[in-house]
């Protein structure tokens, strides 16, 4: 199947910072999350795709057409910036109508599409307001509607939930899911929030220092990170140097079953904290540890155990709180597939 979006070896320079080479492909209607820390090049890559930055190498094809040499307005790409970037001197209706004036649509079709998007994004009551009179959530909805009213082939979202509170993020995510499911738009969503990626995207790409270091199904990337950076960025607090013998990982004096044989003899192991459990009395366990720290993290308990050579962090259910006493010893367990082997740093040829 021909990809809807093909980014082939794209490179670009932003002063002393270089993006690329970057290779990504998406299917039509796919929602791809692009994650990475601040300054890794996520927004810069979006600018290359949107045509706001000239690339120095590579190609960008959308729906089978090479768009690298086209100006932004002819690419069929919608971009929603972090701040929304609404025209302050135009009201909501005028902001949405601005781009439609430059299409070949007749007045009746243009008006019908505008009204449809005012309703779809729940901003019809705001039509005559100006940006200065909108809340953060309202501004985000208007910015999304302005991009989508042109029915782009590809929608680029740059931290679209930034500056929204928790409830605002949940509301915006649900609205976005509903609308994109109806329209079938291809989306690249830039974020540094792994929870956004998990809840919205089917696939994700991890970016670091201007390059994509891993791309795949969200669950696969989270559970099988390709390198130490990705593991730690995605919230895996248990990453240890290890040596491997057949299907066993050895971290100091501790030994853990892997369930598979890594193609390298040494590297690292990652154990996601939410996969660790406290074994019931008398049940088999893998390691014992003394509870040295306990925090209420809202929807779970963050517990740190001193296991001698290792310090393990676990994310435990809230109902265990009455059983967890500081400085008490507990038996810990997890399934073999919770332990993931990571290639040695700098070994680009190994795959786990």
Three-state DSSP state, 24 = strand
Query: 80: part of which helix (H) or strand (E)?
Result: strand 77-80
What pLDDT shows up at residue 347? Answer: 55
Q: Could you list the pLDDT tens digit for every one of the 352 residues in the chain?
A: 689 999 999 999 999 999 989 999 999 999 999 999 999 999 999 999 999 999 999 999 999 999 999 999 889 999 998 877 899 999 999 999 998 888 888 889 999 999 999 999 999 999 999 999 999 889 989 999 999 999 899 999 999 887 788 788 888 888 888 888 888 899 999 998 888 888 889 999 999 999 999 999 999 999 899 999 999 999 899 999 999 988 899 988 888 888 888 889 999 999 999 999 999 877 878 899 999 999 998 889 999 999 988 999 999 999 999 999 999 999 999 988 889 999 887 654 433 3
| Burial of 47 per CB tally in 10 Å (0-12, 13-18, 19+) | buried
CA nearest neighbour of 211 among 28, 347, 34: 34
Domains 5-223 and 235-342 in one fold: no
Rounded CA separation 212/9 (Å): 11
What are the tokens at 3?
Answer: 């990809």
Domain boundaries in the chain? Answer: 5-223, 235-342
**18, 12 Cβ separation under 8 angstroms:** yes
CA nearest neighbour of 239 among 275, 274, 271: 271
Rounded CA separation 258/173 (Å): 36
Which CATH number is 5-223's, of 3.40.50.300, 1.10.760.10, 3.40.50.850, 3.40.190.10?
3.40.50.300
Which CATH number is 235-342's, of 3.20.20.100, 2.40.50.100, 3.40.30.10, 3.90.1150.10?
2.40.50.100
**323, 315 Cβ separation under 8 angstroms:** no
The total of other beta-carbon atoms located within 10 Å of residue 133's CB is: 12
Instruction: Give the model confidence (pLDDT) of 92-150 as tens digits.
Output: 999 999 988 888 888 899 999 999 999 999 999 999 999 999 998 899 899 999 999 99
pTM of the complete model: 0.88
């Amino acid at each position: 199947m021909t990809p809807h979006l093909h980014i082939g070896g794209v490179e670009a320079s932003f002063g002393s910072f270089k993006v690329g080479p970057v290779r990504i492909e998406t299917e039509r209607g796919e929602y791809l999350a692009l994650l990475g820390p601040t300054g890794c090049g996520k927004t810069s890559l979006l600018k290359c795709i949107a045509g706001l930055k000239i690339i120095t190498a590579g190609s960008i094809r959308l729906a089978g057409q090479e768009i690298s040499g086209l100006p932004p307005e002819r690419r069929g790409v919608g971009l929603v910036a972090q701040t929304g970037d609404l025209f302050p001197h135009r009201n909501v209706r005028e902001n949405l109508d601005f781009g439609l004036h430059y299409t070949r649509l007749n007045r009746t079709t243009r008006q019908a599409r505008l009204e449809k998007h005012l309703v779809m994004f729940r901003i019809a009551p705001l039509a005559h307001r100006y940006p200065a009179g909108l809340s953060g959530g309202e501004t985000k909805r208007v910015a999304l509607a302005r991009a989508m009213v042109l029915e782009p082939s590809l929608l680029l979202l740059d931290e679209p939930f930034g500056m929204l509170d928790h409830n605002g993020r949940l509301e915006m995510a649900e609205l976005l899911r509903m609308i994109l499911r109806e329209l079938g738009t291809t989306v690249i969503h830039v974020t540094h929030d792994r929870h956004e990626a998990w809840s919205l995207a089917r696939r994700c790409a991890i970016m670091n220092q201007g390059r994509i270091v891993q791309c795949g199904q969200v669950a696969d990337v989270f559970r099988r990170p390709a390198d130490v950076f990705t593991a730690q960025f995605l919230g895996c607090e248990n990453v240890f140097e290890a040596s491997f013998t057949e299907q066993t990982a050895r971290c100091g004096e501790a030994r853990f079953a892997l369930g598979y044989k890594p193609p390298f003899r040494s590297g690292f192991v990652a154990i996601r904290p939410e996969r660790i459990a406290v074994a019931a009395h008398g049940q088999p366990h893998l390691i014992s540890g003394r509870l040295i720290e306990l925090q209420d993290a809202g929807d779970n308990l963050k517990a740190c155990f001193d296991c001698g050579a290792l310090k393990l962090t676990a994310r435990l259910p809230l109902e265990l709180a009455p059983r967890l006493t500081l400085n008490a010893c507990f038996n810990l367990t997890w399934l073999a597939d919770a332990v993931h082997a990571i290639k040695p740093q700098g070994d680009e040829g190994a795959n786990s």
